[in-house]
């Protein structure tokens, strides 16, 4: 089992939106970065766990946890001319963009702030604290997953 961090802008779709969805489940679509796409297509597996990270908002940080309930499959929005994520160069025989389905698991009482994450001694590997921190889908190693989850629950 692997661990991940998915970024989202809560003004558009945050952890509360995930909670209010039918079955508390939502396709994680609209990812349009090749490195992030490769993770979604090749590595994110059913039952993996995911930190839901809120960006570009008042309280930047990790808001909760979701579980992957469906591994990578074609992101339907790439084929939809009405969608903001439409990609005219995409084709169905060889989809360019992928998504997974995630289901809500846990919401922390408070968001674990980015500032705090950066100050934690054991947290040196996660993409948030390194260069290349703009990736919207990033792996989290097992040790840092445990440290961050524990810290978030103790807030």
Asked if 37 and 74 count as a contact pair (C-beta separation under 8 A), the reply is no
Region near DNA per CB under 7 A, out of 11-19, 33-41, 44-52, 98-106: 33-41
Binding mask 79-118 for DNA (x = CB under 7 A): -----------------------------------xx---
Q: Which is nearer to DNA, 23 or 131 (CB)?
A: 131
| Residue selected from 34, 45, 47, 91 as contacting DNA according to rule CB under 7 A | 34
- The candidate with the shortest Cα–Cα distance to 114, out of 64, 155, 55, is 55
Count of residues interacting with DNA (CB under 7 A)? 17
Among 24, 33, 38, 67, binds DNA (CB under 7 A): 33
Question: Minimum Å distance from CB 115 to DNA?
Answer: 5
In the complex, what is the shortest distance from the CB of residue 42 to DNA, in angstroms, rounded to a whole number?
16
Separation in Å, CA 60 to CA 22, 44, 70, 85, 138: 26, 24, 27, 24, 16
Does 119 bind DNA (CB under 7 A)? Our answer is: no
Question: Within 132-151, which residues bind DNA (CB under 7 A)?
Answer: 132-136
Q: How far is the CB of 80 from DNA (least distance, A)?
A: 18
């Amino acid at each position: 089992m692997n661990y991940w961090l998915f970024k989202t802008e809560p003004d558009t779709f945050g952890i509360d939106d995930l909670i209010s969805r039918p079955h508390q489940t939502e396709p994680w679509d609209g990812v349009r970065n090749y490195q992030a796409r490769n993770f979604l297509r090749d590595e994110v597996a059913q039952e993996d766990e995911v930190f839901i990270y809120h960006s570009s908002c008042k309280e930047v940080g990790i808001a909760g946890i979701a579980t992957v309930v469906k591994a990578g499959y074609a992101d339907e929005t790439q084929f939809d001319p009405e969608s903001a994520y439409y990609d005219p160069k995409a084709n169905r025989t060889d989809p360019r963009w992928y998504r997974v389905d995630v289901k809500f698991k846990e919401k922390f009482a408070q968001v674990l702030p980015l500032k705090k994450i950066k100050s934690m001694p054991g947290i040196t590997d996660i993409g948030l604290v390194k260069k290349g921190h703009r990736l919207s889908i990033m792996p989290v190693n097992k040790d840092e997953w445990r440290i961050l989850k524990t810290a978030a629950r103790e807030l």
